[in-house]
Structure 1
Amino acid sequence: MKHEEKVIDLAAHKQNVANFFKGEFIDENILQVDSEVASGFILFFQESEKVNMMCFNIQLNQDVSYYINLENSSYFNRAAYFFLNNAYICNLNDNNEQQVKYNGFLTANKEIALKGKAKKGDFLRHISMYYDEHLFDEIRNEEIKTYYKSKQEFLIYMDARDELQFFRKTLWRIFEYPEEVRNKIIRIKLQELKYIFLQRLVSLDVSKLDVKASGITTYQLTQLFMIRDRILNNLKEKPNVAELVTETGIHKTLLQNLFQETFGYTIYNFFTVNRLEQTRVALVDKMMSTSEIAFEFGYSDVQHFSSQFKKMYGTSPSAYYKQFNDPSE
């Protein structure tokens, strides 16, 4: 089954979703689905005049493909997608595509279309948020607020960090609650998600960026994901920025700026944060010693590793280990 949608206004958007899944509105904002297409529910939530959200809990009964063009929408000019894996984003200006695999979120303006495929039996458990630049008024930092309001084209991406992982796990459990309780709690959770989203935006150090408002090309985005995947696949070795500049053909300053704008960190800091996160997991799950972890993840010495770990998590590796592996218990 194929779904193509050009979003015009909120009412039309909701009706298009209902028509595609062959669902029935049991009230104005809850779509119940029990059809040959899928089973489950979709909750629509108007958090404010400037923010509308859709929460999907659908299991597919057949293969589907979709293409959502947001270019002509009237009720928002930016969109954010949470937990929607294996989708493709398509830049309407150059008509090129980039596959995005993520467990966090991406947000972009209306120059980005969304497309994807899902198989029979798959669960669609994701959240879409549609908003306009007035949402940025909730940001107190004037420099950051001005930065985002001035961006005509942008793409922001975030891997699943602790707050998003915890949010997703609790939300999935809430899906199993009785309907009359479930729907009320989901609305509260969606408000929470909006502020997790805002926190990601305000964490960007815009004072160090010098990216023009022209946006990011599909080629540049492809290269950024190549760099990201390469780092995550080899957390023992520090990324060589000079080699990446040569390989991608993107100027060093622009490459660093685009990477930080898209992923929230410079290339080296992205490596550092993700390497430390893996050491934290190893301490708890694998019960490795501090020296073993330092060797496993390519640190020059144990003291350097311990210093970086304490700076990141506020405690030493050995103290963190004891929190989860108390021999007296």
Structure 2
Amino acid sequence: MKIDNFKKYKTVLLDLFKGEMLNETIMNVDSEVAKGSIYFLEGFNDSGTAVYVHIDIICEALTFQLSFDENTFFTHHTSLFNEGLEMNFIDNDVKLPIHYHGIVNTTNDITLSVALKKGDVFRPIQLFYDRSGLQWIENNEVRTFLEEKKNYYYFINRTQELSTWIQTVHQVFTYSDYRKELFLRIKTQELFLLFTHYLSEIDIVTTKTDTLSAYHFKVIFDIKTQIEANLGTKPNVKAFVEEYGIHQNLLQEIFQSTFGKTIYNYYTSLRIQKAYEALVTKKYSITEVAFDFGFSSVQHFSKTFSKVYGISPTEVLNNME
């Protein structure tokens, strides 16, 4: 289905889920296809539009494809999807897997393929906005780079901060319709500030092409998975080069252009983030965290932690008491 304006997008979702528009903002879904609701919030940051799909259950299998081309109603797009869904972005007939655990940032020329099974929960959140939305990126160099880049995909991991935001949104959907809309507008601004902050921290890399092959995407997602499964061990880039047969410079370039950091910087950033979460949410000791995540010593961990968060692990634990 080709979508070139926001009204058409509303109509497409209305037909797909056999919903009923209660007003310009709220679609109630209580059909043989699905149960839930969808909120359409126009006007955030002046020109942006947010769509909160909150389907509690899919009642029958549903497969569909949504195409937004470069002449559509937005220039940039940010999505957040719940886990366990069979979903792909499609770029030049190449399927690119949705990154379930975080935020996907793209430009407007995209096609989204979705396959929902009976019993699925479907709760994507989408933000559509023009280039003016990038003004919230505080890093001037990154902002200029993204404003000038015709096509991009950036996958940003789900942080503890983002997970907390998602939990709050789920709670908001238990409120009355009036309070729900007010709160969702506030939460939309929060999400916008969160992901533009994350984008401010990407490492810029200039690539020869904005389009990667299916094999390249498979490789960098494989590497990403290996890194996440072995945060106690420094990634061996030379081993990746030998395993996948891609030149080291090209491998670093395509990884950085998709995840916003070099392979090693991605590892170090994710390692300290997960160490923080283990310290705060799992109540591990500082010594356990330091060695579980491969730091050479407690002192090394504390120094790295303090540099990133501006507070020592000991102070974090003391503040929790």
TM over 0.5: yes
Q: Which residue does the alignment assign to 2:230?
A: 234
From 288, 300, 306, the counterpart of 1:304: 300
Q: Which residue does the alignment assign to 1:243?
A: 239
Q: Counterpart of 1:27 in 2: which secondary structure?
A: coil
Q: CA 1:232–1:186 in 2, change beyond 3 Å: closer, same or farther?
A: same
Q: Counterpart of 1:124 in 2: which secondary structure?
A: coil
TM-score when normalising by structure 2: 0.89
Shift of 1:141: 4.7
Provide Cα deviations, 1:191-228, integer angstroms capped at 9, x if missing partner.
Answer: 2212222222222233xx23235333332222111111
TM-score when normalising by structure 1: 0.87
Q: Which residue does the alignment assign to 1:55?
A: 52
Q: Which residue does the alignment assign to 1:214?
A: 210
**RMSD of aligned residue pairs (Cα, Å):** 2.3
Task: For 1:19, give the aligned amino acid.
Answer: D
Contact 2:134–2:143 at 8 Å: present in 1 too?
yes
Work out the CA distance in 2 between the residues paired with 1:49 and 1:287.
43
Gaps of 5+ in 2: none
Task: For 1:35, give the aligned amino acid.
Answer: S
Q: Which residue does the alignment assign to 2:189?
A: 191
Work out the CA distance in 2 between the residues paired with 1:64 and 1:215.
29
Shift of 1:285: 4.5
Q: Which residue does the alignment assign to 2:126?
A: 128
Q: CA 1:318–1:154 in 2, change beyond 3 Å: closer, same or farther?
A: same
Q: Counterpart of 1:105 in 2: which secondary structure?
A: strand
Task: For 1:247, give the aligned amino acid.
Answer: E
Q: Within the alignment, does 1:106 sit opposite 2:104 as a pair?
A: yes
Shift of 1:43: 0.7
Work out the CA distance in 2 between the residues paired with 1:98 and 1:65.
17
**Matched ranges for 1:15-94 at <5 A:** 15-46=11-42, 47-48=44-45, 50-59=47-56, 60-71=58-69, 74-85=72-83, 86-93=85-92
Work out the CA distance in 2 between the residues paired with 1:253 and 1:143.
22
Shift of 1:313: 2.5
Give the length in aligned residue pairs. 318
Contact 1:81–1:129 at 8 Å: present in 2 too?
yes
Shift of 1:258: 2.8
Task: For 1:318, give the aligned amino acid.
Answer: T
Contact 1:290–1:302 at 8 Å: present in 2 too?
yes
Amino-acid identity (%): 33
Range with bigger deviation, 168-177 or 220-229 = 220-229
Provide Cα deviations, 1:44-91, integer angstroms capped at 9, x if missing partner.
Answer: 111256422111111222222221122275212332211243343343
Contact 1:97–1:218 at 8 Å: present in 2 too?
yes
Work out the CA distance in 2 between the residues paired with 1:236 and 1:139.
32
From 278, 288, 293, the counterpart of 1:292: 288
Work out the CA distance in 2 between the residues paired with 1:184 and 1:321.
35
Task: For 1:301, give the aligned amino acid.
Answer: S
Q: Within the alignment, does 1:267 sit opposite 2:263 as a pair?
A: yes
> Hey, which bits of structure 1, 4+ residues long, moved more than 6 A?
none
